[in-house]
Structure 1
Amino acid sequence: MNDFLSALLLGIVEGITEFLPVSSTGHLLIAERWLGARSDLFNVAIQAGAILAVTFIYWRTLWSFVLNWRQPETRAYVAKLAVAFLITAALGFIATKLGFRLPETITPIAWALIIGGLWMIAAERLAARQPERAAVTWRVAILVGLAQIVAGIFPGTSRSASTIFVAMLAGTSNRAAATEFAFLVGIPTMYAATGYELLKTFTHGGAAGEDWTGLGVAFVVSTIVAFAAVKWLLGYIRSHRFTPFAIYRIVVGIALLLWLPTGG
């Protein structure tokens, strides 16, 4: 397939799936079976494009942190975001140094989609039994940081799904509040991951071999599509549950497992 079209389609896939609880990494690994494998920098950078979209959406919230920095509630919330990020960054650094790499086969992704879908259904029901709470506790911050690294290690798990539902079960039962905290934590996480991959690429002399045009196209497309997807999701969760996404994950996971024995 034409490299430009391939990059365009991968950007669309990333933009749609990064914040919907269906696993962007899992979908990208599957899409690359048809569209061609890309570098780690490419995959991380287009995720940063989706994060840029969330930065635009939450710019008022981020700016309020600066304006209201003197307020104890603001400082406490930002500190919890920092703790969640630092947990993810530290464990991610350790995983990288230990030589962790994403799986090259679809089978573990398919199982992660199925198990994650079942877990989402159960977690939604458990969260619905809890009293309505929008506050983010320190326990929520710590567990969200751990959930991010779990999602990074096991493609198909979904960073947004794992962080949102961990937050809901750990004490922030309000879906909108849990989603906002999960998305805000993702901003420094993905920017840091992109910066690390850029540094590694230039340090090891891989810049010359990178398809910068394709990366740029995918980055822009991912940003635009993710902006629309997140805007839709934030409106959707006000009156709907995540159950349709869980069912989608289960159906896709089963379809992949049935397709694999045929040689796919």
Structure 2
Amino acid sequence: MTEFLAALLLGIIEGITEFLPISSTGHLLIAERWLGHRSDLFNIAIQAGAILAVVVIYRQRLWQLADSFVHPGKAQAVHGQPPRDYAIKLAAAFIVTAVLGVIVKKLGFELPEEVAPVAWALVIGAVWMVIAEQLAAKRAKTLGERAAITWTVAILVGVAQVVAGVFPGTSRSASTIFVALLFGTTDRKAATEFAFLVGIPTMFAATGYELIDVARDGGLAGEDWGSLAVAFVASALTAFAAVKWLLRYIQTHTFTVFAVYRVILGVALLLLVPSN
């Protein structure tokens, strides 16, 4: 397989899996067994492509939130709450993630991205998703439709992002969406939107931090920029399509199908992929 085609496939895999609740780490882990491991810069590039896609999808919402600080009198509500309050809660969730992320990094608490822990995180996360889905459905019946984001949700979403970062295979999107559903909003679309919007500054910050490290270590030299560009574009386009599809899908479906898929992938990783 050519380097160009391998880069294209890795970009597509990253784009599809980054924001679906199925763990991009698990998919890239198995893909790199056959397509070859790539540089840190390559992995940064394909992640940046996926983030850019979400920025494009939510560009109007992002503009609305920013404009609410300039023209507060003209601002329309976001899921039943003032846009400035919503934006402040987004910022709070990001700050929680940033502070806890720095603490975790200083403590050196991070599992290695090896097959066994990722596979088990996929399976355990799937079980948690099914249980959380049922609990969220009961909350919705009891409390009715609630789309507003509470302070509890904002703080816990920030914590959930750190947990997902510490345990590869957990899935950042799954962790944050279900925390929102269990502890605040009962609206799947509103929970997903908040999770994705929080992910924008979080992932941009993490990507920028990693890029600085790579540049400092001389990792920019010798990179295949053509393959990197192909992977970046592929990731952005497929992430755009995946997120748009997910937002339509969850309006009439639960997340159960993703839990089933996670179990299948986790078991496949444990049985078929060598652990070293």
- Shorter-chain TM-score above 0.5: yes
SS in 2 for 1:136: coil
Q: Are residues 101 and 3 of structure 1, via their aligned partners in 2, closer, same or farther at CA, if it must alter by over 3 Å?
A: farther
Unaligned regions of 5+ residues in structure 2, if any?
A: 76-80
Provide, for residues 205-230 of structure 1, a one-character-per-residue CA deviation record: whole Å limited to 9, x for no partner.
22113333322211111000011111
Provide, for residues 53-73 of structure 1, a one-character-per-residue CA deviation record: whole Å limited to 9, x for no partner.
111111110111122222581
Q: Aligned letter for 1:65?
A: L
Q: Are residues 44 and 152 of structure 1, via their aligned partners in 2, closer, same or farther at CA, if it must alter by over 3 Å?
A: farther
Residue 242 (structure 2) pairs with residue 229 (structure 1):
yes
**Alpha-carbon shift at residue 34 of structure 1 (Å):** 1.1
- Hey, what's the Cα distance between the residues in 2 that align with 1:29 and 1:98? 25
Provide, for residues 233-257 of structure 1, a one-character-per-residue CA deviation record: whole Å limited to 9, x for no partner.
1000000000000000011111222
- Hey, what's the Cα distance between the residues in 2 that align with 1:210 and 1:189? 26
SS in 2 for 1:21: coil
Provide, for residues 115-164 of structure 1, a one-character-per-residue CA deviation record: whole Å limited to 9, x for no partner.
01111000000000112211101110111011111111111111111100
Moved more, 20-29 or 95-104: 95-104
Q: Aligned letter for 1:157?
A: T
Q: What's 1:3 paired with? A: 3
Structural RMSD (CA): 1.8
- Hey, what's the Cα distance between the residues in 2 that align with 1:246 and 1:229? 17
For residues 9-20 of structure 1, what are the structure 2 equivalents within 5 Å? 9-20=9-20
Contact 2:30 2:273 in 1 (8 A): no
Identity rate of aligned residues, in percent? 67
SS in 1 for 2:221: helix
Residue 182 (structure 2) pairs with residue 166 (structure 1):
no
**Alpha-carbon shift at residue 99 of structure 1 (Å):** 4.0
Residue 90 (structure 2) pairs with residue 81 (structure 1):
yes
Q: Aligned letter for 1:73?
A: P
Contact 1:91 1:149 in 2 (8 A): yes
Q: Are residues 135 and 19 of structure 1, via their aligned partners in 2, closer, same or farther at CA, if it must alter by over 3 Å?
A: same
Aligned partner (choices 68, 73, 95) of residue 104 of structure 2: 95
Moved more, 95-104 or 147-156: 95-104
- Hey, what's the Cα distance between the residues in 2 that align with 1:219 and 1:210? 14
Q: What's 2:191 paired with? A: 178
- Hey, what's the Cα distance between the residues in 2 that align with 1:2 and 1:102? 32
**Alpha-carbon shift at residue 5 of structure 1 (Å):** 1.4
Q: How many residues align?
A: 263
Q: What's 1:243 paired with? A: 256
**Alpha-carbon shift at residue 102 of structure 1 (Å):** 5.5
Q: What's 1:114 paired with? A: 123
Contact 1:112 1:156 in 2 (8 A): yes
Q: Are residues 98 and 41 of structure 1, via their aligned partners in 2, closer, same or farther at CA, if it must alter by over 3 Å?
A: farther
Q: Aligned letter for 1:257?
A: L
Contact 1:11 1:46 in 2 (8 A): yes
- Hey, what's the Cα distance between the residues in 2 that align with 1:171 and 1:33? 40
